Structure 1
């Protein structure tokens, strides 16, 4: 199985700077999280290559997964055709995080180990991870 992650890099020299990686081995997840923990890394968009496309003409995936690492917390959001937008039930002390088009509410940040396990599960199964408890994000 394969997942791809892309994210912006905040850079005064290049407003369109970004990075990305394709993972095929669950052991590669830790490397992704280390890169997302770098000071200028933005929120990553992650998609699973084995899932159906919602729009084949546009190449639009049937799911939207966002991942971030900030101040020792891991952030994850998930939405697909069967699930509303949700974030994990995280550490109540985790601050909210605003990045790109996603807002992670307070208390949705998890340990990096929890985030890594959820991403490994997503890589293996191509489904919403069951290793975390989810809460729906209200509009």
Structure 2
């Protein structure tokens, strides 16, 4: 299975810079999360290459997954045709995080190891990870 992640790099020198990676092996997830923990890394959009497209003409995936790492917490949001927008039930002490078009509410950050486990599951199954409990977020 394969997932692709792309994210902006907040840089005063380059207003439209970004980075990305394609993962095929579970042990590659830790490298992605290390890169997302870098100070200027924005929120990553992640998609599973084996899922069907919602719009084949536009190449739009049938799911939307966003991932970030900040201040020792991992953040993830997930929505698809079967699930409303949701975030993990995280540590109540985790601060909220806003990045681009994504807002992670307070208490939705999890340990980075938990996020890594969830991403490995997503890579393996292509489905919303069951390794974390989810709570629906009002859009």
TM-score normalized with structure 2 length: 1.00
- The alignment partner of 2:79 has SS state of strand
Stretches (4+) displaced over 6 A:
none
Which residue number in structure 2 is paired with residue 5 of structure 1? 5
Q: Verify: 1:30 aligned to 2:30, yes or no.
A: yes
Q: After superposition, what is the alpha-carbon deviation per residue over 1:56-96, rounded to whole angstroms, capped at 9, x for unaligned?
A: 00000000000000000000000000000000000000000
Which residue number in structure 2 is paired with residue 107 of structure 1? 107
Shift of 1:138: 1.1
Which residue number in structure 2 is paired with residue 52 of structure 1? 52
Map of 1:56-135 to 2, 5 A cutoff? 56-135=56-135
Which ranges of structure 2 fall in alignment gaps of 5 or more residues? none
| Distance in 2 (alpha carbons) for counterparts of 1:38 and 1:128 | 26
Which ranges of structure 1 fall in alignment gaps of 5 or more residues? none
TM-score normalized with structure 1 length: 1.00
| Count, aligned residues | 139
| Distance in 1 (alpha carbons) for counterparts of 2:11 and 2:87 | 28
Please report the RMSD computed on the Cα atoms of aligned residues, expressed in angstroms.
0.3
| Distance in 1 (alpha carbons) for counterparts of 2:88 and 2:110 | 7
